[in-house]
Copies of this chain bind each other. A is one copy, B any other.
Amino acid sequence: MQIARTIAEYRAHRAALLAARAVEGRPGLVGVVPTMGYLHEGHRSLMRCARADCAIVATTIFVNPTQFGPNEDFTRYPRDEARDFAICEAEGVDIVFAPRVEEMYPAGAETTVSVGRLSTVLEGAARPGHFDGVATVVTKLFSIAQADRGYFGQKDAQQLMVIRRLAEDLRIPTEVVGCPIIREPDGLALSSRNVYLSPEEREQALSLSRGLRAAEAAWQDGVRDADSLRRRVLDEIEAQPLANVDYVSLANQGTLDELRGAVGAPALLSLAVRFGATRLIDNILLTP
């Protein structure tokens, strides 16, 4: 496994591997798994998807400052590079790109990428500027990685939509692949931020997936009213004294327009809930 700190190092490793692994003179696919590190089983599942598809697998580890708000957890966001590198190695990753901030944001950099309305609702409303930061850094990572496919988790459902939109709009030659949410056995969606939770908060945080499953069960029983479906989720979470609901949304899966009345599929049921200073998100797709 190669570790690249600079774009030039990454590109040199990529080119050497492409040449070495060409089959009958044809280069294989390059897959990239962009992450902010502190890797968990969710990230590992993305690496396995990439490993199954691609001749060359790159992972990027970069805690991107521009997607954190001024009062968010950028400085205390969990980091453990040595452990991350070991995980990448174990998953058969070929190149880890782990740049310093200056490599991604050189002095004088002032170009930003914005995805319109999709960026302004739900997570975008709660975290102003967040998706501009995501869109800008992912555009850069795509430029750097020169990958045929990029792998992202469905856990950050709106982020995945924003990234699909920017790749499509900017005609970026990287196919965006979404991969399923990975959960703990008790249902908690994996997140690097789960380490912030106290044992009591963690116990109450199980209400998120429980609420989503309750709504899904109602959906499968034929409930179609948007408020009733949102209510199933809220009932579970609001019963937890430490939980503060940011939003529970049932929205059109293509546009994220909030749904009223009778709901058609596919619809995205998503939520953000705070436990103390820790903000968790989760979602489920309601399909026909």
Q: Does A279 contact B (CB under 8 A)?
A: no
- Within the complex, what minimum Cβ distance (angstroms) separates A166 from chain B? 5
Q: A122 near B: Cβ within 8 Å?
A: no
Most chain B beta carbons < 10 A, residue from A11, A106, A143? A143
Contact status B169-A110, CB under 8 Å: yes
A172 vs B172: C-alpha distance in the bound complex, in angstroms? 11
Size range of the interface on A?
20 to 34
User: Is A234 interfacial (CB-CB < 8 Å)?
Assistant: no
Which of these, B25, B110, B166, contacts A111 with CB under 8 Å? B166
- Which residues of chain B are near A83, meaning CB under 8 Å? none
Q: How far, in angstroms, from A166 to B25 measured CA to CA in the complex?
A: 34
Cα(A114)–Cα(B104), bound, Å: 17
CB-CB nearest in chain B for A105: B169
Which parts of A5-49 form the interface with B (CB within 8 Å)?
7, 11, 25
The number of times this chain is found in the oligomer is: 2
Tell me if A276 is interfacial: C-beta within 8 Å of chain B. Answer: no
**Contact across chains for B115 and A114 when beta carbons are under 8 A apart:** no
Q: Does residue A197 face the partner (Cβ distance < 8 Å to B)?
A: no
Task: Judge whether A146 is part of the interface by a CB distance below 8 angstroms.
Answer: yes
Is A180 part of the contact surface with B, judged by Cβ < 8 Å? Answer: no
- Report chain B residues within 8 Å CB of A166: 111
**Please, how many angstroms separate the alpha-carbon atoms of A113 and B166 in the complex?**
10
Q: Which of B108, B140, B146, B168 contacts A170 (CB 8 A)?
A: B140
Question: Which one of B104, B106, B111, B170 contacts A116 once the chains associate, using CB atoms below 8 Å?
Answer: B111
Q: Does A171 contact B (CB under 8 A)?
A: yes
- Nearest-neighbour CB distance to chain B for A191, whole angstroms, equals 27
A sample of 7 more A-B contacts (CB under 8 A), given A111-B113, A112-B114, is A25-B25, A109-B168, A109-B169, A111-B170, A139-B139, A139-B170, A140-B171
